[in-house]
Amino acid sequence: MTPAPKIRVLLVDDHAVVRSGLRAFLEAYDDLELAGEASSGDEAVRLCDRVSPDVVLMDLVMPGTDGIAATRAIRERHPGLQVIALTSFQEQDRIQAALDAGALGYLLKNVGADELARAIRSARAGQPTLAPEATRALIHAATRPPEPGHDLTPREREVLVLMVQGLNNTEIAARLVVNRSTVKFHVSNVLAKLGAASRTEAVALALTRRIVLEPKPR
């Protein structure tokens, strides 16, 4: 009976000691083999063209092209190739960015050897694997209440920007070429959506929550 082909794994990390440890890890499993090593995102993209790995273990933070950009480029060029993000970071924004770029898995570097081997096998079969910390971060983000100002219309946001600049209703009406009653209506909506009791509070919320940026001094 012909044995199943080994899963070819490309290691991508800018730290040689990390790659060395991962290389030793691969040697401990009969069904895994090293396809190549890259120390940067650009090198990883080039190597994928040359060595045709099945799975890439991708560090995310590297000089130059980072792991997220490299993942996106690899997945665009090789849709059948699977990428597992292997990183020390567990922030929700970074996790979401990696998954959006096409990573099928997201694991932390403290993962156990057997768990990492299972994740590689799952990735080769097209099945995702997420570290528990990554799952919790995504659930927290999904259940977090929306930020104030998320539901402002483009016109209301425009009015808020002018409020932050210190314009009163008459000046805003002149700037937007609308009547004052229209501006008053928009200002009232802005205050309600921000949960602000006054224009001053609305401006303070807009700046502290970075709903709009503070105007630069002229």
Range of the domain at 159: 154-208
Domain with residue 137: its CATH number is 3.40.50.2300
Tens digits of per-residue pLDDT, 181-204?
999 999 999 999 988 899 999 999
The answer on 161 and 134 residing in a single domain is: no
Looking at the predicted structure, is the pLDDT value of residue 217 above 90? no
Q: Which tens digit of pLDDT belongs to each residue from 96-143?
A: 899 999 999 999 999 999 999 999 999 999 999 999 888 888 887 766
Number of domains in the chain: 2
- pLDDT tens digits, one per residue of 53-92: 999 999 999 988 999 999 999 999 999 999 999 999 888 8
Local confidence band at 147 (pLDDT 50, 70, 90 cut-offs): confident
User: Do 160 and 137 share a structural domain?
Assistant: no
Whether residue 14 is predicted with pLDDT greater than 90 in this model: the reply is yes
Q: Is 77 inside a domain boundary?
A: yes
What per-residue confidence (pLDDT) applies to 216? 58
CA distance 172 to 159: 7
Looking at per-residue pLDDT, the higher value among 155 and 1 belongs to: 155
Domain end position, chosen among 92, 108, 143 = 143
Confidence at residue 2, expressed as pLDDT on a 0 to 100 scale: 67
Residues 49, 118 share a domain:
yes
For residue 11, the model assigns a pLDDT of 98
H helix or E strand, kind and range, residue 35: strand 32-38
Cβ neighbour number for residue 5 with a 10 Å cutoff: 9
Q: Within this chain, do residues 126 and 168 fall inside the same structural domain, yes or no? A: no
Mark whether 16 and 100 lie in a shared domain: yes
107 and 183, same domain (yes or no)? no
> Residue 182 maps to which CATH number?
1.10.10.10
How confident is residue 151, by pLDDT bands cut at 50, 70 and 90? Answer: confident
> Residue 156 carries which side chain, given as an amino acid letter?
E
What distances in angstroms separate CA 66 from CA 45, 101, 173, one per listed residue?
11, 12, 46
* 213 lies in some domain: no
Is residue 36 within a helix (H) or strand (E), and if so which, with residue range?
A: strand 32-38
Rounded to whole angstroms, how far apart are CA atoms 100 and 94? 10
**Does 97 lie in the same domain as 54?**
yes
Question: Given this model, what pLDDT does residue 149 score?
Answer: 77
81-96 tens-digit pLDDT: 999 999 998 888 899 8
Same domain, 64 and 138: yes
Q: Last residue of some domain: 95, 122, 143?
A: 143
pTM of the model: 0.67
